[in-house]
Structure 1
Amino acid sequence: MYFRGSFYFCAMRSAPCALRAFGLRSALCVFLVCSLKILEFCALRSALCEVLIYMYENFYGLKENPFNVTPNPEYIFLGETHREALAQLLYGVREKKGFIVITGEVGTGKTTLVHYLLDKMDGNGHTKTAFLFNPKLTVNDFIQYILKDLGVRVQGQTKGEYLHNLHRYLLNAYRKDERVVLIVDEAHGLNGELLEEIRLLSNLETSKSKLLQIVLVGQPELDKTLSRSDFRQLRQRINLRCHLLPFSAKETKEYIEKRLRIAGAKESIFTEKAIKEIYSRSGGIPRLINILCDNALLNGYALDQKRVDARSVKEVAKDLKIVKKYRRILIWSLFCLSIAAGILLFVYLQKSGSLLPLYQGILRGLQYMKEILNKGVSALLQFP
């Protein structure tokens, strides 16, 4: 859980002040949150966290925490690119396409999508899956892990024996008309040796189809790795690709409302302006949306607010140091602008003995960068 914003918010208020202003419940909330800050490295911390969660869940009429960052297929919400990715995954597995690659930035819902896929395939007796969530393994450990996750009794101690066991299992599954899927999460962390081993595993096939379907899920760095010349053989075997994007403003609103509804909310808890602020701060990234919503609910509970407003979102975002997306881009653009101006200055000082061309060149460069910045910021500022 992410309580940092609420720590700082509640730490500024004493229990007596809360008792006078908001009553016994808010005073107790302040006491518990401040205790969490004091017991930051204590075993009681997790227990107190659960108490706080339980308190704000009851306050808002929720049966459970709707914004837990742990992937839960029950709370799945598919944006446009997520629907495309899921469709490609299901098609690729059903048609035995071999290699599938899914990429996306941190927090865009890659692991949640994979868990949803696993949940759908678990109900299908014709699909067996091995899910690798930690790619930091040796080759032998990697193959052994696949066997164990598929429920295969591991026999032997060498790589050759492990591969023989796996090949025999895949052939038996093929005869039973079963599909076997290997899903590698955090695939951008795979080293060259493991990527080559994965390529070799794709050689396990019959004359008609692949015996093993492989899904690589990772951050955009995975694409950069696969684009290297030494991985061209692996790259040529990739049949389907999909890149997950953050939610749009509309999808962000639908995402928040759906999670609240599943958790038992009878009415909207966040105001329209609060949702706009959440989108502005999170950039539509599901993980950041969850963090902001979770802390804003706790903040609203401490203030006895049945509806969370934009001010509460701004307070927790400030404490969590989550700045607006366009501000991050603006800061980075200004940094690039200063570098560009410095380069122009250097070039003109080298090539011109007159200061007038120098000033004119810098002004033209600054004007050009200003136009680019204005266009970029205008596109991002969807809300006031």
Structure 2
Amino acid sequence: MYLNYFGLTDNPFSIAPNPDYLYMSPRHKEALAHLTFGLRESGGFVMLTGEVGTGKTTVSRKLLQQLPDHTQVAMILNPTLSAIELLATVCDELGIECDPDKASLKYFTDRILAKLADNHHAGFNTVLMIDEAQHLLPEVLEQLRLLTNLETNREKLLKVVLIGQPELQQLLKRPELRQLSQRITARYHLLPLNAGEVSAYVAHRLNVAQGDINLFSKATLKAIHRITAGIPRVINLLCDRALMLSYTKHHAVVKKPIFLAAAKQILGDDVVGQRLRHQHTLWLGLTFVSAMLVGYMLGAWYV
């Protein structure tokens, strides 16, 4: 609704995973480099963790784009499965024909291992990518480890990418999963965007939609980082609502009060108030420390 008003050709802050709006911050690039390196190593697992909305899917999609052409990928988006259900899903993803009357852990495992061997002889790599991996049961993770036992003298025939929230890190610290944890050749925890990256993120998405960063005042850009804590998904939701509110009030620029109003509509008054108070408390603390340092230096000079 507000696109024509602001001269935009598309919605710059849609939460749909449109690759045209992919923004790889320095943090995302570093995460991608870690995962890419890990997949080239001989180990069986690489791991990416991060809070909800930090861009793990962005990194995983970019990783898929960079995999060699001779790679077969099995993607599991819903890992809340038993061990036998997971193996059956892997078979489906790899195009392995199975007899449902013979369904068992051994049957599915044998079929998958045969497929891995066939792919290797045909010059294909096989990658299993699991999203929301923090929901995997320990016994399912152990079954995955067993799948990676098939190897040549140089490498594993199955590489597994685990993507999940920080709880995945805690899960892998369990004693019964120590063997799997030791096989992780690369792990990266994706942090939220910092203040400079938030501005660059907003500018990038606006530029793709033929817009300009000047649609948001400097005070608003600072507020975006403060209120969203640098989470890209939250940035999209709040900026989209702020543009809508600015359009309804016929403002040419998204000003800070409008953005805060949008934030309260999405996050609630209590969350926005808490984050503003936290920033105010931090500012007072820094002011107090600065005053103490100045007083100490003046006192030392006087003595």
TM-score by length of 1: 0.68
Q: Compared with structure 1, are the counterparts of its residues 95 and 229 closer, same or farther at alpha carbon in structure 2 (3 Å cutoff)?
A: closer
Structure 2 residue identity aligned to 1:218: G
**What's the secondary structure of 1:128's corresponding residue?**
strand
Q: Distance in 2 between matches of 1:245 and 1:78?
A: 13
Partner of 1:154: 98
Q: Distance in 2 between matches of 1:222 and 1:199?
A: 15
Q: Distance in 1 between matches of 2:240 and 2:288?
A: 28
Residue 58 (structure 1) aligned with residue 7 (structure 2): no
- Alignment deviations for residues 327-347 of structure 1 (CA, whole Å, 9 cap, x no partner): 47589xxxxxxxxxxxxxxxx
The answer as to whether partners of 1:247 and 1:286 remain within 8 angstroms in 2 is yes
- Alignment deviations for residues 273-321 of structure 1 (CA, whole Å, 9 cap, x no partner): 1111111101111111111111111111111222211121011112222
Mapping of residues 1-384 of structure 1, within 5 Å: 55-121=1-67, 124-155=68-99, 156-265=102-211, 268-320=214-266, 321=268, 322-323=271-272, 326-327=275-276, 374=285
- Alignment deviations for residues 178-207 of structure 1 (CA, whole Å, 9 cap, x no partner): 211111111111111211111112212223
Of the two, which has the highest radius of gyration? 1
The answer as to whether partners of 1:66 and 1:263 remain within 8 angstroms in 2 is yes
Question: Unaligned 5+ residue runs, structure 1?
Answer: 1-54, 332-369, 379-384
Q: Distance in 2 between matches of 1:239 and 1:267?
A: 40
Quote the sequence identity (%): 39
How far apart are 1:152 and its partner, in Å? 2.7
Count of aligned residue pairs for this structure pair: 284
**What's the secondary structure of 1:255's corresponding residue?**
helix
Q: Distance in 2 between matches of 1:290 and 1:120?
A: 26
Q: Compared with structure 1, are the counterparts of its residues 283 and 376 closer, same or farther at alpha carbon in structure 2 (3 Å cutoff)?
A: farther
The answer as to whether partners of 1:68 and 1:290 remain within 8 angstroms in 2 is yes
Question: Unaligned 5+ residue runs, structure 2?
Answer: 290-303
Q: CA RMSD in A?
A: 2.6
TM-score by length of 2: 0.85
Q: Distance in 1 between matches of 2:288 and 2:87?
A: 49
Which stretches of structure 1, 4 residues or more, deviate above 3 A after TM superposition? 94-97, 324-331, 375-378
Partner of 1:381: none
